[in-house]
Chains A and B, each alone.
Chain A
Amino acid sequence: MEKIKSVLVYCEVENQKVADISQELLSAGKRLAEKLGSPLEAMIFGSDLHGIESQIAPFGVDRLFIGNSLRLEPYRTLPHAALAAHILKEEDPQIVLFGATSVGRDLAPRLASKLNCGLTADCTILDIGDHFVKKEKKEYKDLLYAIRPAFGGSIMANIINWDMHPQMATVREGVMKKEIFDEHYNTEIVEVDVHSIVNEEDFVVEIIDRQIKESGVNLKEAPIIVAGGYGVGSKENFDYLKELAELLGGEVGGSRAAVDAGFIEHDRQIGQTGTTVRPKLYIAAGISGAIQHTAGMQDASMIISINNDPEAPINKLADYVIHGDLGVVVPKMIKYYKQNAK
């Protein structure tokens, strides 16, 4: 019988901590693997990874490839690409998943080129399904449906690949839910012989300096931003916005007036002198819409304005204008989201 090919997840790690996105992907990968009746595998490359499996096994990983060497951290493209390519060629998985992060979006395309296979970017939904290819008069079973927004979020495309393998996809952070499969899952560990695979030439790009903020605010990459202005009124009221943002898998932002008033941290300011964002959804609560603010958010795909002034300039940009008190509206949004989300 033919061996059932695996679903394989590339895991990111820094300072002995497996990235949240990677654990989210393991959960998503497990769901796909169960539908396919195939094993779930993972690969992780970094330094000092002794015991790292404790952060990976509980997601139901059948086999974990570990590349352990001081030179593999922090991430650099070429050595990671060499290791991943080696494993993919040996294992021949059917599906490979990466985070749509600074790392995953750097590595996955290079690998896809190396392996001459398809890669679907920034998926928000992954599923399994069939496809009939008219030209070949052939039905392909159990393909990966990689569903992603494109054209600035105005369409959702279901992207498939039936002829060049493996099928690869990247997924944005916060899109999939982490689910522990089994605390005591038995994972086979395979140590990768790093030095026989990676060449000296793979280290030509040198990292001279690196400044990473652990709890870094990630406004730029956030698909959804809930922003509050001076109209929010207090630091405490901002908690409702935070709750809504968390629930929707987004980040909280603010206008300068909200920052100046001390309602929210400075690194969350949006606008001309803050961060420029292009999320798929921007919720502006109690923000009037000064040009210095809108300069930083007007390219959002969809804008909801919540304001008690029907004439607030921000309403001109908005797709939904809610005329009301944000203290009433935001809790209702939380309530109805909880009631209606799958």
Chain B
Amino acid sequence: MRPLKIVVLAKQVPDTRHVGPDAMKPDGTVNRGKLSTVFNPDDLHALELALNIKDRIPGTTVTLLTMGPPKAADIIREGYYRGADFGVMISDRRFGGADTLATSYTLVKGIKKLAPYDLVLSGRQAIDGDTAQVGPQCADKLNIPQVTYVEEVVQITNDKIIVRRRLSKGVETVSSPFPCLMTVHGSSPTCRSRHAKKVMQYKYARTKTELRSADEMLLSLHQKRPYLTIPEWSVEDIEANVEKIGLNGSPTKVKSVENIVLTANEAKFLTESDADIEMMIKELIEHHTIG
């Protein structure tokens, strides 16, 4: 089998299990500064799938690509710690406020700059927007086939990959020629943990932006070991059309947002009385939890 070039799309996401009411700006966009962030769970599965292929086919390379604010460089470092070969960050204020159409446009511009590639992997969905749209939209823009909800790689030959997909009512085994895009389901194996050696090797990896506030030690280290400098691409670097990115390129707009957070896990204690049960049901309906 020939070695593959794999690109893994990974997103830094707010930890949606702990969204406070102050985390949304008045215009409905996320106030990322107010939330702790995590590596999107499905994307860790996608990374594992890629690393698993690399284990099977020596010489395979895994490149992590993320679009996000400067802080999203954490994703690249985390990928290095777990075994990714390369990482690239797309970051520019002008990309902000993107919906899935603009996000996929931007990512595809980055993927094309990384070409040639055999396989593009994404998570099935991100836990903040929860749309599961970015993967298929990238596949369309790259004009390659897509295979969604992948759970396991069954077989790889020189020109084809056979995988099992997890559907809501069963499973399906399909084959696709290369290059193709696959979205990875959370039921696939969980990601291996960090290697201590890789953590040592990459803990000083930084983007240009991060290096601006770095000390002498870090700067000279980056001079000696250029691989530590994480490539950071702007609108111009990926030759993106400003009309197609960020808010400008996003047809969907958030008109209004209704917060339905209950005071963070302060439980309400109820009895089995009619009054208590009716009150609860009314609250649930009012908060659109049921209805």
Give the distance in Å from the alpha carbon of A216 to the alpha carbon of B172 in the complex. Answer: 14
Does B188 have its Cβ within 8 Å of any Cβ on chain A? Answer: no
Does B115 have its Cβ within 8 Å of any Cβ on chain A? Answer: no
Does B225 have its Cβ within 8 Å of any Cβ on chain A? Answer: no
Does A198 have its Cβ within 8 Å of any Cβ on chain B? Answer: no
How many residues on B have C-beta within 8 angstroms of the other chain's C-beta atoms? 75
Residues of A within 8 A of B167 (CB): 102, 212
Does A1 have its Cβ within 8 Å of any Cβ on chain B? Answer: no
Report the minimal beta-carbon distance from B116 to chain A, rounded to whole angstroms. 18
Residues of B within 8 A of A220 (CB): 168
Taking chain A's interface residues, is the majority helix, strand, or loop, or is none over half, making it mixed? Answer: mixed
Of the candidates A164, A205, A328, the one whose C-beta lies within 8 Å of that of B251 is: A164
Most chain-A CB neighbours within 10 Å: which of B145, B174, B277? B277
Does B209 have its Cβ within 8 Å of any Cβ on chain A? Answer: no
Report the minimal beta-carbon distance from A338 to chain B, rounded to whole angstroms. 10
Give the distance in Å from the alpha carbon of A157 to the alpha carbon of B257 in the complex. Answer: 4
Does B291 have its Cβ within 8 Å of any Cβ on chain A? Answer: yes
- Which residues does B use to contact A, with CB under 8 Å? 14, 16-17, 19, 24, 28, 99-101, 104, 127-137, 139-141, 145-149, 162, 167-177, 180, 250-262, 265, 267-272, 274, 276-278, 280-282, 284-285, 288-291
Of the candidates A112, A154, A164, A341, the one whose C-beta lies within 8 Å of that of B133 is: A112
Give the distance in Å from the alpha carbon of A118 to the alpha carbon of B255 in the complex. Answer: 14
Using an 8 Å CB-CB cutoff, how does the interface string of A161-179 with B read, 1 for contact, 0 for none? 1111000000000000000
- The answer to whether residues A121 and B267 also contact, given A109-B137, A342-B291 and a CB cut-off of 8 A, is no
Most chain-A CB neighbours within 10 Å: which of B16, B131, B174? B131
A324 x B272 contact (CB < 8 A)? yes
Residues of B within 8 A of A329 (CB): 272, 277
Stretch at the interface among A51-59, A143-151, A231-239: A143-151
Give the distance in Å from the alpha carbon of A220 to the alpha carbon of B282 in the complex. Answer: 26
Residues of A within 8 A of B270 (CB): 320-324
- The answer to whether residues A116 and B101 also contact, given A160-B253, A212-B169 and a CB cut-off of 8 A, is yes
A204 x B281 contact (CB < 8 A)? no
Does A196 have its Cβ within 8 Å of any Cβ on chain B? Answer: no
Within 8 A of B (CB), among A72-118: 74, 77-78, 81, 101-102, 105-110, 112-114, 116-118
Residues of A within 8 A of B171 (CB): 210-211
Give the distance in Å from the alpha carbon of A164 to the alpha carbon of B99 in the complex. Answer: 13
